[in-house]
Amino acid sequence: MAGDPGTGDHDPGSVTTILDHGLDLGPATVLVGDNGSGKSTIIEAIALAYGLSPEGGSTGAQHRTRSTESVLADHLQLVRNAGTTRRGYFLRAETMHGLFTYLEANPSMSGPDVPFHEMSHGESFLELVVDRFRGSGLWVLDEPESALSFSGCLALLGVLKELVVSGKSQVILSTHSPLLAALPGAQIYEVGSWGLRLQRWEDLDLVTSWQAFLSSPERYLRHL
């Protein structure tokens, strides 16, 4: 993925890095970082540049409630291999309700529709992944852990692992979850003021911070 300069003077360091140097995406790529680091901006821009709906869905989804996306997508060029599929799906937990309403109003022609609105938030999220993430394609997820319990994250990890192992799919994920960041076979980029840096899972600030808290929560709680 290559970038062209020109989005503005106040972009996070991660966005500037991509515009200046591009970003190599493997079969599975995970972005981790604090709020405001730019990881969701990058995820959204990749989805948009691929032709996916900014509020979630496939390349055919046309719903939109309010335009808030970054202009970064206008400056990205996705480099595809010859014969690469154009199938894909973008999931972001914060816009799931609107996506489900859109899907309800635009029923599928290929089979019975899943009653997503009748399920819990986590159940509907996982059901959508199982229902739509099939075969070859680009599967993009923005902080899916906000919809999922620990067991739900494990279930999602299992689905994503199978997609990657198939060799026919590419997964791109942003997360605050150390569990999801452990996606087998993924290259992990730690996102921050420095831009983006490849990092081993066990060396991520996200992982070491959670390990420190779980080993001695009182050390943190007494300062609140």
Output the pLDDT for position 193. 87
Asked if the structure places residue 26 within a domain, the reply is yes
Question: What is the extent of the structural domain holding 129?
Answer: 2-197
Number of compact structural domains in the chain: 1
Residue type, 124: S
Considering the domain boundaries, does residue 136 fall inside one?
A: yes
Tell me if 211 is assigned to some domain. no
Identity of the residue numbered 189: Y
**pTM recorded for the entire structure:** 0.83
Per-residue pLDDT of the chain (224 residues; tens, 9 = 90+): 555 544 444 456 777 878 887 888 999 999 999 998 889 889 999 999 888 888 787 776 666 655 555 678 777 777 766 566 778 989 887 776 677 777 777 776 665 567 666 677 678 888 888 888 988 999 999 999 988 999 999 999 999 999 999 999 999 999 999 999 999 999 999 999 889 999 999 999 999 999 999 999 999 999 88
- DSSP H helices, 5-149, are 13-21, 39-50, 96-105, 121-132
Q: Between the CA of residue 38 and those of 77, 133, 174, what are the distances in Å?
A: 18, 25, 10
Alpha helices by DSSP H, 94-224? 96-105, 121-132, 150-165, 205-215, 217-221
CB-based contact 178:163 (threshold 8 Å): no
Query: Tell me, what CATH number does 78's domain have?
Result: 3.40.50
CB 161 within 8 A of CB 183: yes
Query: Residue 138 domain-assigned?
Result: yes
Give a yes or no: residue 203 inside a domain: no
**Rounded to whole angstroms, how far apart are CA atoms 133 and 113?**
15
In a domain, 73, yes or no: yes
Please name every residue paired with 191 in a beta bridge, in sequence order, or none if there are none: 33, 196
